[in-house]
Structure 1
Amino acid sequence: MNVFWKKLLRNKGLLLLVLPGTVWFLVFAYLPMFGSVLAFKDFRIHRDGFFASVLNSKWMGFKNFEYLFTTNDAYIITRNTILYNLALIILGLVISVTFAIILSELVNKKMAKIYQTGMFLPHFLSWVIISYFAFTFLSTDKGTLNQIISYFGGEPIMWYTEQKYWPFILIFVGIWKGVGYNSVIYLASITGIDKSYYEAAVIDGATKWKQIRYITIPLLKPLMIILTILAIGGIFRSDFGLFYQLPKDSGALYPVTNVIDTFVYRGLINMGDIGMSTAAGLYQSMVGLILILITNYIVRKIEKDHAIF
């Protein structure tokens, strides 16, 4: 025990640095886990407070989970959630790595920083703002795209009622918003690569493409795998703002924009069933955990050093 306290005192400076993050993590990540019990109860507000409400609410078992699996939209929301996330993960990975490599190869570093800042900016914009940006392009009467189409003699498109365009719009905007943030992560990793590798490659006569293919990408692979594993863990979760705010909650677009998160939100708003929404969140978390474990196990079998644990 004395050894423990000695180590604690010796590292008190570092421990104080991580204390705020630890407290935040405990309060906002671990304490809310106790609320998962609501997924198995018919939650009703009690006058004696929240804890009394939880204790006095009727136990329902797995009935709250039936809402997700027995509804007529179960197939549609599951399909949309998985396919959109797969597209965003795969395309986001390829485009982010590509932009990071391009930025690292720019000779003019001042311009590279300007491009990097411009790409990073959308990450800080809320989906409400982005949805109004999109509306200026897609509005039926005053939208920029319809004005261009009309100028060339075409018929204006009712963007917010035509389903066939929205898979491409959602994927494009989702990648546009996230590619800058992900590129910065990969760019930081590229910056940390030992320059002697490239110098040796130049001496051996390697072209720039071969340097990227045989040095940059292989050294980025561990980071790419780790981030992909973590992204797969969230494949049953969707960016709520992307699928709710961007299409303006248009009912005509539900078959191509409705995902688990938006479906649960509308169910909560219409029925006020907290137990059902908690069950959906718990289901998404458990599936995400299982997917991370499976993906990490596969990676560990193929290349042990690239696994998370």
Structure 2
Amino acid sequence: MGAALVIPFKEYKFSQGILGSAWCGLKNFRWILTSTSMGRVLRNTVAYGAWFMIIGPIVNVAVALLLFEIRNRKALKTYQTIITFPNFMSMVIVGYVTYAILSPRTGLLNQILTGLGMETVDVYMNAGYWPVILTIVTLWKGVGLFFQKSCKLLYLL
């Protein structure tokens, strides 16, 4: 924890270690704050955070209510497993699964499009797809835990 508070103020070199590296003061912060991309990065961070705070609870409650109506116990357990499983994976694994689906050459999405005789899509070269992709992946990762808590509350009512 202490290293995380010191390294940003140092010109860190692995060979010299944390204590041996020279102090650079606020130079690292000056560089990032004067970067031409900083405004866009800050705007995107705030916008995505607000979007996830708004859409997340709505989707979570909707999924919980829909699944609460399923009467077939085997189907319900299957859906619960599918929805809850990403909650136990790290975001790195979720990113890899997303890549396996969206990969330009070998991804599941493009394999399906090719099988249907349609033209493939390279989502990694088009920024317009990413707001939707990030929303879906973030909701998929987080909906499981909320679903479990919601079902417990619904069963108590």
TM-score between the two structures when normalised by the length of structure 2: 0.76
What are the equivalent positions in structure 2 for 1:18-29 lying under 5 Å apart? none
Q: Which has the higher contact order (CA 8 A, sep 6+)?
A: 1
Change (3 A) 1:114 1:166: same
**Which sections of structure 2, spanning at least 5 residues, go unmatched?**
none
Q: What residue is the counterpart of 1:174 in the other structure?
A: 138
Identify which of 92, 101, 104 aligns with 2:56.
Answer: 92
What are the equivalent positions in structure 2 for 1:37-116 lying under 5 Å apart? 37-38=5-6, 41-42=9-10, 53=19, 58=23, 60=25, 62-116=26-80
Secondary structure class of the residue paired with 1:141: coil
Identify which of 162, 177, 184 aligns with 2:126.
Answer: 162
Change (3 A) 1:158 1:106: closer
Q: 1:131 aligned to 2:95?
A: yes
Letter in 2 for 1:159: V
Change (3 A) 1:73 1:145: same
What are the equivalent positions in structure 2 for 1:194-205 lying under 5 Å apart? none
Q: Distance in 2 between matches of 1:69 and 1:41?
A: 14
Q: Distance in 1 between matches of 2:10 and 2:102?
A: 42
Count, aligned residues: 157
Q: Distance in 1 between matches of 2:82 and 2:117?
A: 34
Q: 1:143 aligned to 2:121?
A: no
Secondary structure class of the residue paired with 2:123: coil
Percent pairwise identity: 31
Q: CA offset at residue 192 of structure 1?
A: 3.4
Contact conserved, 2:114 with 2:120, CA < 8 A, in 1?
yes
Contact conserved, 1:40 with 1:64, CA < 8 A, in 2?
yes
Secondary structure class of the residue paired with 1:160: helix
Contact conserved, 1:39 with 1:64, CA < 8 A, in 2?
no
Per-residue deviation, residues 225-271 of structure 1 (Å, max 9, x unmatched):
xxxxxxxxxxxxxxxxxxxxxxxxxxxxxxxxxxxxxxxxxxxxxxx
Change (3 A) 1:58 1:153: closer
Letter in 1 for 2:118: G
Q: Distance in 1 between matches of 2:89 and 2:108?
A: 21
**Which sections of structure 1, spanning at least 5 residues, go unmatched?**
1-31, 194-309
Letter in 2 for 1:38: V
Q: CA offset at residue 152 of structure 1?
A: 4.2
Alignment RMSD, CA only?
3.2
What are the equivalent positions in structure 2 for 1:214-293 lying under 5 Å apart? none
